[in-house]
Amino acid sequence: MVEQESRERLREIVLEAALPHIAFDGWTVAALRAGAAAAGLEESEATVLFPRGPLEAIEVHMTLADRHMIEDVSALDPQPRGAAAMVRAACHARLERHAPHREAVRRAVARLSLPQNAPLALRSLYRTVDAIWLLADDRSTDFSYYTKRATLGAIYAAVLQVWLNDRSEDLSATWAFLDRRLEEVAIIGKTRSRLQRCGAQLSRFRAFSPRFR
């Protein structure tokens, strides 16, 4: 177990050292080898640590980003109150962490958009939105478990695209876009609740109205 943990930490160190090179060379073996050298290792260690190559490195990068997001949000004092506030805080924390390496993220997104990499892209997106909902203390086990994650997955993917091209001061365009998406979801949720209440009232009305018998 200790050896496995040490290997995982070494992978993360090499990956973080490789990010500046990835911004120029893309997610390539050459960039990973440069990261290994920058971390004080032999370049050949890159292929030992990432035997499946750059795609494995992207997956490690996404997993590390999830962990950093959880740590950053958990350290907030006071904690965000309510699901929307927690989602907003998690997106802020994640993208602000990514800010110095936006080009590396852009190249990862481009790589994951290829059809053959769709399973990894979906798996990584699911882990991210699941982590956000767990931060929001969502413990649902019914069908809403899936709808919440699908909805947030669509929101996060859209926000990420805006962030990648945002040149506004303090990323104000990204945060405004995120707020609009969260408000739209809130409105949809309220509308659904009202329709469900109306449906329940109509069912009671039908029982007393000859027209509906």
CA atoms of 157 and 91, how far apart (whole Å): 11
The low-confidence residues of the chain, meaning pLDDT below 50, are 1-2, 188-189, 191-213
Fill in the amino acid letter for 144: S
- Three-state SS for 146-188 is HHHHHHHHHHHHHHHHHHHCCCCHHHHHHHHHHHHHHHHHHHH
pLDDT tens per residue across span 51-81:
999 999 999 999 999 999 999 999 999 999 9
* pLDDT confidence of residue 194: 47
* pLDDT confidence of residue 144: 83
| Residue among 17, 24, 29, 87 at smallest CA distance from 54 | 29
